[in-house]
Amino acid sequence: MVSPEAKKLAEERAARMQAALDLKEPDRVPFTGLGGDVIPAYAGITSYEYEFDFEKNRQAAVKWFTDFPSDSAPRVGLGGLDNQSMGVAFQDYPEIVSGVNSVNGPMNDVLKMKFVRFPGRELDENSARQFIGGKNMEPEEYDQLIADPVKFCFEVIMPRISGGLKDLGSPASLATMARFGLEKARQDAEMAKTMQALMELGYYFAPRGVCLAPLDLISDQLRDIPNLILDLRRYPDKVKAAAEALVEPMVKMGTMSIKAGAKECFIPLHLNEYLSPKQYNEFYWPTLKEVILKLVEAGMKVQVFFEGWHDAHLETILELPAGWGTAYFEKTDVRKAKKLLQGHTCIMGGIDVSDIISLTPAQLDENIKKLFDEMAPGGGFIFSPNIGTCPRETPIENVRAVYEAVEKYGKY
């Protein structure tokens, strides 16, 4: 049972995040919390156990979120890796998409995806799950992708990337989909238990959509990054047309969860820091912008993770309507972003995970104090690590120092 106290705490946390999203000053600087492989390490279990065993995963999450409270809806359950080309293949079947769009360890045991690596499987039991990408499409196939991206992802790409579905229509592939359904039902029930446990601790859950920038879908899942970079020079018109063809599928992926109550869509960018402003503005931004605008039109806020250095493209964010959502930065200095985007965009980020690993508690305390002095005034700021994964070896005294500094300096 969720106690009235826990319910009140959850409401306060949600309100704190919402105020920042609405570009206002909340009661305190909202903090997403730290996470990643440090959670199983803190609970004394392997990363393999955390990625494959719901019961152990739940216990580890409860311990972590009890000892280290934070404000955003916690990302719990088994961690997944991006698998959006398969999501596109099944885009007319939302109940399938929610299981294939991001593939976790046990689901990968069923689907056998080519470009993911999990601890305790391909990797050491205490390694981190990793997406490695790869080339799954030849340049001669751009026309097929452009003509019908959904059909192309289903008929051509899926058999190449999923060991379980390599022979579409075969008994093996039908058995794979049947197993997928059983595993999905099992995971949905387990997830409900995990969410219940976290709600009892005063957390809330908010479903959200996920999609990619159209060009990232091509580079991450179809051509791989180096090949896509060369394609920009060798087949510029094809690449552009393919990105345009993927706008509608991406919007569909992003808005799919609105029926389940999603108010936000997350778009993690990858290729942004690879591109010159000329390439970004010609090949990447127009279709990404179109996707964001359509999600906003559909009533969603959008959170974009600007991976790497986004400095060269920062001003393009101003082309979006004020209040469109959240810009989450990895390497770009959030102070610099604030000068440009205050009153227009909610800014998220502020602490480098490498610093949390490498600095002393006193240094972290001082850095966070200085950061909040500059970033808190005026609101519209969510404090977060620059990437999601703190490794197993993250010193716990440093983790404590971060949470204590948020407590000390976060009040408005």
Partner 1 sequence: MREELLRSFVDMDEQEAVRIARELVETEGGAVAVLDTCKEAMEEVGRLFEAGEYFLSELIAAGDMFNQIMEFTLPKLQGEEVASLGTMVLGTVQGDVHNIGKDIFKVMAEASGINVIDIGIDVPHEKFVEAIKEHKPELVGMCCLITLGVDSMKRTIEVIKEAGLRDDIKIIIGGGRVSQAVMEHVGADAWADDAARGVRLSKELLGKE
User: Residue 118 CB, nearest distance to partner 1 (Å)?
Assistant: 11
Nearer Cβ to partner 1, position 120 or 254?
120
Contact pick of 127, 176, 221, 398 for partner 1 (by CB under 8 A): 127
What character string, x for contact with partner 1 (CB under 8 A) and - otherwise, covers 72-91? Answer: --------------------
Q: Which residue type sits at 151?
A: K
**359 is a contact residue toward partner 1 (CB under 8 A):** yes
User: Residue 392 CB, nearest distance to partner 1 (Å)?
Assistant: 7
Closest by Cα among 137, 139, 116 to 128: 116
Q: What is the C-alpha to C-alpha distance for residues 279 and 288, in angstroms, rounded to an integer?
A: 13
**Strands, sheet with 325-329, edge to edge from the N-terminal-most edge strand:** 208-210, 264-268, 301-306, 325-329, 346-351, 381-385
Contact pick of 66, 155, 226, 321 for partner 1 (by CB under 8 A): 226
What character string, x for contact with partner 1 (CB under 8 A) and - otherwise, covers 182-221? Answer: ----------------------------------------
**352 is a contact residue toward partner 1 (CB under 8 A):** yes
Nearer Cβ to partner 1, position 230 or 318?
230
Which window, 20-28, 224-232, 247-255, 316-324, contacts partner 1 (CB under 8 A)? 224-232
User: Residue 315 CB, nearest distance to partner 1 (Å)?
Assistant: 15
What character string, x for contact with partner 1 (CB under 8 A) and - otherwise, covers 35-54? Answer: -xx-----------------
CA-based end-to-end distance of the chain = 33
Structure tokens at 324: 């469109």
Q: What is the C-alpha to C-alpha distance for residues 250 and 293, in angstroms, rounded to an integer?
A: 12
Nearer Cβ to partner 1, position 275 or 347?
275
**234 is a contact residue toward partner 1 (CB under 8 A):** yes
**276 is a contact residue toward partner 1 (CB under 8 A):** yes
Closest by Cα among 153, 142, 138, 141 to 236: 142
Q: How many residues bind partner 1 (CB under 8 A)?
A: 37
Nearer Cβ to partner 1, position 35 or 249?
35
Which window, 62-70, 126-134, 179-187, 188-196, contacts partner 1 (CB under 8 A)? 126-134
User: Residue 246 CB, nearest distance to partner 1 (Å)?
Assistant: 20
The phi, psi pair for 35, rounded to 5°, reads: -160, -160
Helix (H) or strand (E) holding 57: helix 54-67
Q: Which residue type sits at 322?
A: A
Q: What is the C-alpha to C-alpha distance for residues 324 and 283, in angstroms, rounded to an integer?
A: 22
Nearer Cβ to partner 1, position 2 or 357?
357
**152 is a contact residue toward partner 1 (CB under 8 A):** no
Using H for helix, E for strand and C for coil, what is the string for 237-289?
Answer: HHHHHHHHHCHHHHHHHHHHHHHHCCCEEEEECCHHHHCCHHHHHHHHHHHHH
**393 is a contact residue toward partner 1 (CB under 8 A):** yes
Structure tokens at 177: 């989909």
Q: What is the C-alpha to C-alpha distance for residues 220 and 203, in angstroms, rounded to an integer?
A: 33
**261 is a contact residue toward partner 1 (CB under 8 A):** no
Contact pick of 233, 237, 259, 362 for partner 1 (by CB under 8 A): 233
CA dihedral sign, ordered 199, 203, 209, 214: negative
Cα Rg, the chain, nearest whole Å: 21
Closest by Cα among 403, 382, 324 to 13: 382
Point out which residues bind partner 1 (CB under 8 A).
36-37, 117, 122-124, 127-128, 130, 132, 225-226, 229-230, 232-234, 273-276, 279, 308, 312, 352-355, 357-359, 387, 389-393
